[in-house]
Chains A and B, each alone.
Chain A
Amino acid sequence: MSRRAGATDPWWMDAALTIAGLSKRFGPTVAVHDVHLTVARGSFFGLVGPNGAGKTTALSMAVGLVRPDAGAVRIFDHDVWADPVRAKELVGVLPDGLSLPERLTGRELLTYSARLRGLDRATAAERASELLAVLALTDAEHTVVIDYSAGMRKKIGLAAALLHAPKLLVLDEPFEAVDPVSASTIRTILQRFVAAGGAVVLSSHVMALVEKLCDHVAVIARGQVVASGRVDEVRGAGNLEDAFVSLVGGQVGGEEGLSWLTS
């Protein structure tokens, strides 16, 4: 856990991602309200929150996929809306719940993504092969993406996010539906990426994973950040899961009602 020691550096001096006052409503529903976050270079940042808390909306706004009603996002000091080209060059994105060009094979998808970002054919093919091999997708490289399982989709999406060697990764639920071996591989890749000075922002439901992987964490509930800081600060004396439950004001239910289910 050398990352946590490194996180005592003055990380706020040199932000990879700055989110200031982001807000978004969908009709009468407030999805995200006045969210502020700063992710340092070389930081591994976890975004946690209950279902429907606004994690996906917040991350989508951070990378320019959803237009915020208010607020600003800067990626390495480039405004995502005012200077999108530079900002987009520096970020790799894995969204959640969006489709891919479904009729391309895994390999075609990777080479297409790489070349869309201006890499030449040879480099694109080389990086695609390497990523397919590392993520154990080589057997499926000639299968069209529509036939991929949920976990394989996450992996090919992650590969597409890494292809152009970004400096910031914004990953929405990167471990969801991924098998334990692949999850371990992804963790190692991301830790190497952070150790080399990159920054990762990921959202997750799995507290143990965030606790183990991230040096900083933000807890988001009902569209607002209710706690943010170093992991050891946010969790206090107990573990992150207990801190999370008390922070989001949730009660662990399941003891009352439902008598028809157990009779």
Chain B
Amino acid sequence: MVDVLIAIKLRALRRTLHGWTGTAYVLMAVAGLSTALVCVAFMALFPGGITVRVDIAATVFAVWTLGWLFGPVLGASDETLRPENFALLPLRPTALASGLLGASLVGVAPLVTALIMFGLVLVAIPAGIGAVLVAVVAAAGQLALAVLLSRVVFAGLGAALASRRGRDLGVLLGALVGLAYLPIIMLTPHLEPLVVDRTSPLFTAVLHGLPTGWGPGAVAAAAEGRWAVALGLLAALGVLDTLLVVAWSRLLVRRLTTAQPTARSQAAGSRRGALRTVLPDSPLGAVIGKELLLWWRDTRRKALMFSSLLIGILLPVFYTWQNSSLVPLASAGIWIVVFASLQCGNVYGMDGSAVWQTLVAPAAAQVDVRGRQLAWLLIVGPCTLLAVAVLPAVTGTAEWYPWQLAIVAALLGAGSGTFVLASVRAPVPMPTKGGSPFATGPGGTAGKVVNAFAMMGRLLLVVLPPLAVLVAGAITGWSALAWAAVPLGVACGIWAAWRWGGKAAQQVSERGPELLAAVRLPV
């Protein structure tokens, strides 16, 4: 079972690795492996005794396992092997879960994680052969723990989203889980004294108490000759892994036996009535109306939009807390636009092959792209402008108003241009039914990273002119100059929205069949 699933996974991986996705995948692999080597070197070579090194290993394992937990929610999840494909096989759910676990261990991320986990063996070498044997078992257990936790969280989210009521809750939950990463980023600068000098007994206790610390703990115990403790910790790790396999199989059964939920049609009726009075009676109005409905109804789209708005607000809150400066909070508007445009860089991929409707309608490409831009602006714009209007005044940083307005105006236009352009230029097909709204198709993660960098570059480009004027204003002390940056920002934004939206429309119109082929998920 496991070997068959691994073979399928490898075959699927090989099929997707060509062209620029392949290049991006290789680049990610190199980056991942370098990170792994640095982590292992840190664990194995840090000056000090085995106690310090074990603590470092426990920290690295905790951070890395958390990464596995948040990965799916942040969009780095690959559902190449869909459990639905195996639903009719006469298999016990635990056997299917174990098989899928084996297949989950294929890929760059598991390889990098495995390297790091098995770095524990290097830590154990000075302590003798017994400790090394414990470390080998512990590393395997920790690797399984990371992957299983990730799978169970992913499946749990999918299960939560499968019920009509749970769907909105699940989206919120997903966004919050993603945000839980932020306190960890904040902690990083304070990590060294905590780990190496053990300045906080509580921190050390938590580090060892968490399941991610059990493997390193077993090695430490073995090094001290406390074999009962070492074996006990290994056994506990084994039991936890087994429980996770059982939990995962339960969730798989639920996923495979629960029907897809239906949308709320009555609510849709009234909403459409409200839209009708505002939107123009034209093809453009039709596209805007459809897009707004889809942003509201499509769980995956809603999850993306909601989490980007939430991260846009909460990230500056954390930065403000960390730096005790109110400027980051005041600039929440900027964060909202940036996240909303980066997250939406695959709208054609999300819609899948439904784009054929645009391709067979006469001259609809232009309308489709512009409608998507305007619908995005209608959602992101008000949230951003509200944040920009309120936050500087509330936080007592009113002198930043020209900065905020100029940059947000430029970014809104640039964001609405760059997300459609990225969606057209580098579409990634996505599974249409079942599973979690955060799932992507094979090779999707690498593509997303490259796409995100291109988008950030474009956003930065558009911000530069107003930023230059703002800086000049600050240096010379002319407030009039700073305010002059606002219309410049607006102009830059309009230019970018017009120009990049036009390029996107041109590509949809001229390369429509290629776009359709790219967003179709091979059946």
Cα distance A161–B516 when bound, in Å?
A: 18
Inside 8 A of A174's CB, which chain B residues have their CB?
Answer: none
Residues of B contacting A: mostly: helix
What is the distance, in angstroms, from A135's C-beta to the closest C-beta of chain B?
Answer: 18
Of B137-145, B285-293, B438-446, which stretch is located at the interface? Answer: B285-293
Q: Is the CB of B287 within 8 A of A142?
A: no
Residues facing B in A58-74 (CB within 8 A) are 63-67
Interface flags for B170-189 (1: CB within 8 Å of A; 0: not) read 00000000000000000000
Q: Is the CB of A121 within 8 A of B281?
A: yes
Q: Is the CB of B263 within 8 A of A144?
A: yes
B512 part of interface (Cβ distance < 8 Å): yes
Q: Is the CB of A88 within 8 A of B514?
A: no
A113 part of interface (Cβ distance < 8 Å): yes
User: Assuming the A-B contacts A67-B513, A116-B287, are A143 and B354 also in contact, with contact meaning beta carbons closer than 8 angstroms in the complex?
Assistant: no
A117 part of interface (Cβ distance < 8 Å): yes
Inside 8 A of B353's CB, which chain A residues have their CB?
Answer: 97-99
Cα distance A95–B359 when bound, in Å?
A: 12
Cα distance A211–B268 when bound, in Å?
A: 44
Of A32-40, A100-108, A187-195, A228-236, which stretch is located at the interface? Answer: A100-108
Q: Is the CB of A117 within 8 A of B361?
A: yes
Nearest residue, chain B, Cβ from A86: B362
Return the contact of B356 from the options A67, A95, A105 (Cβ within 8 A). A95
Cα distance A41–B266 when bound, in Å?
A: 44
B276 part of interface (Cβ distance < 8 Å): yes
Return the contact of B360 from the options A91, A104, A121 (Cβ within 8 A). A91
Q: Is the CB of A89 within 8 A of B360?
A: no
Return the contact of B265 from the options A67, A105, A113 (Cβ within 8 A). A105
Cα distance A175–B203 when bound, in Å?
A: 67
Cα distance A146–B298 when bound, in Å?
A: 11
What is the distance, in angstroms, from A250's C-beta to the closest C-beta of chain B?
Answer: 25
What is the distance, in angstroms, from A2's C-beta to the closest C-beta of chain B?
Answer: 31
Residues facing B in A5-30 (CB within 8 A) are none
Return the contact of B352 from the options A63, A99, A142 (Cβ within 8 A). A99
B30 part of interface (Cβ distance < 8 Å): no
Nearest residue, chain A, Cβ from B276: A121
Q: Is the CB of B283 within 8 A of A117?
A: yes
Nearest residue, chain A, Cβ from B290: A112
Q: Is the CB of B359 within 8 A of A65?
A: yes
Return the contact of B293 from the options A86, A104, A115 (Cβ within 8 A). A104
Return the contact of A93 from the options B269, B354, B360, B432 (Cβ within 8 A). B360
B200 part of interface (Cβ distance < 8 Å): no
What is the distance, in angstroms, from B286's C-beta to the closest C-beta of chain A?
Answer: 4
Interface flags for B334-364 (1: CB within 8 Å of A; 0: not) read 0000000000000000011110111111111
Return the contact of A143 from the options B265, B269, B272, B517 (Cβ within 8 A). B265
Q: Is the CB of A100 within 8 A of B354?
A: yes
Residues facing A in B243-298 (CB within 8 A) are 260, 262-263, 265-266, 268-269, 272, 276, 281-283, 285-287, 289-290, 293-294, 297-298
Q: Is the CB of B276 within 8 A of A108?
A: no
Q: Is the CB of A66 within 8 A of B517?
A: yes
Residues facing B in A113-161 (CB within 8 A) are 113, 115-118, 120-121, 142-144, 146-147, 160
Q: Is the CB of B360 within 8 A of A65?
A: yes
Inside 8 A of A120's CB, which chain B residues have their CB?
Answer: 281
Q: Is the CB of A67 within 8 A of B514?
A: yes
Cα distance A102–B266 when bound, in Å?
A: 17
B523 part of interface (Cβ distance < 8 Å): yes
Inside 8 A of B362's CB, which chain A residues have their CB?
Answer: 84-86, 88-89, 117
Inside 8 A of A102's CB, which chain B residues have their CB?
Answer: 298, 354, 432
Cα distance A120–B279 when bound, in Å?
A: 12
User: Assuming the A-B contacts A88-B361, A99-B353, A117-B361, are A147 and B262 also in contact, with contact meaning beta carbons closer than 8 angstroms in the complex?
Assistant: yes
| Total contacting residues, chain A, CB less than 8 A | 38
| Total contacting residues, chain B, CB less than 8 A | 45
Number of interchain pairs (Cβ within 8 Å): 112
Inside 8 A of B520's CB, which chain A residues have their CB?
Answer: 98
B433 part of interface (Cβ distance < 8 Å): yes
B367 part of interface (Cβ distance < 8 Å): yes
What is the distance, in angstroms, from B154's C-beta to the closest C-beta of chain A?
Answer: 21
Inside 8 A of B294's CB, which chain A residues have their CB?
Answer: 101, 103-104
Nearest residue, chain B, Cβ from A67: B513
Return the contact of A144 from the options B286, B297, B351, B354 (Cβ within 8 A). B297
Inside 8 A of B351's CB, which chain A residues have their CB?
Answer: 101
User: Assuming the A-B contacts A102-B432, A103-B293, A120-B281, are A64 and B360 also in contact, with contact meaning beta carbons closer than 8 angstroms in the complex?
Assistant: yes
- Interface hub of A84, A89, A97, A103 (most chain B Cβ within 10 A): A103
Inside 8 A of A108's CB, which chain B residues have their CB?
Answer: 268, 272, 290, 293
What is the distance, in angstroms, from B509's C-beta to the closest C-beta of chain A?
Answer: 8
Interface flags for B15-27 (1: CB within 8 Å of A; 0: not) read 0000000000000
Q: Is the CB of A101 within 8 A of B354?
A: yes
- Interface hub of A88, A101, A146, A147 (most chain B Cβ within 10 A): A101
Inside 8 A of B514's CB, which chain A residues have their CB?
Answer: 67
Cα distance A97–B522 when bound, in Å?
A: 11
Nearest residue, chain A, Cβ from B360: A93
Cα distance A100–B351 when bound, in Å?
A: 8
Residues facing A in B484-523 (CB within 8 A) are 512-514, 516-517, 520, 523
Cα distance A100–B357 when bound, in Å?
A: 8
Nearest residue, chain A, Cβ from B511: A67
Inside 8 A of B265's CB, which chain A residues have their CB?
Answer: 105, 142-144
Inside 8 A of B359's CB, which chain A residues have their CB?
Answer: 64-65
Inside 8 A of B367's CB, which chain A residues have their CB?
Answer: 116
Q: Is the CB of A65 within 8 A of B516?
A: yes
Q: Is the CB of B523 within 8 A of A97?
A: yes
User: Assuming the A-B contacts A65-B359, A67-B514, are A115 and B352 also in contact, with contact meaning beta carbons closer than 8 angstroms in the complex?
Assistant: no
Inside 8 A of A95's CB, which chain B residues have their CB?
Answer: 356
Cα distance A104–B272 when bound, in Å?
A: 11
User: Assuming the A-B contacts A112-B290, A147-B262, are A63 and B360 also in contact, with contact meaning beta carbons closer than 8 angstroms in the complex?
Assistant: yes
Cα distance A103–B300 when bound, in Å?
A: 11
Residues facing B in A176-207 (CB within 8 A) are none
- Interface hub of B262, B266, B360, B512 (most chain A Cβ within 10 A): B360
7 more A-B residue pairs beyond the given contacts A64-B513, A88-B361, with a C-beta to C-beta distance below 8 A: A65-B359, A85-B362, A91-B360, A103-B293, A104-B294, A112-B286, A118-B282
User: Which residues of A are at the interface with B, using a C-beta cutoff of 8 A?
Assistant: 63-67, 84-86, 88-89, 91, 93, 95, 97-105, 108, 111-113, 115-118, 120-121, 142-144, 146-147, 160
User: Which residues of B are at the interface with A, using a C-beta cutoff of 8 A?
Assistant: 260, 262-263, 265-266, 268-269, 272, 276, 281-283, 285-287, 289-290, 293-294, 297-298, 351-354, 356-364, 367-368, 432-433, 512-514, 516-517, 520, 523
| Top-5 shortest CB links A-B | A115-B286, A88-B362, A142-B265, A98-B353, A103-B297
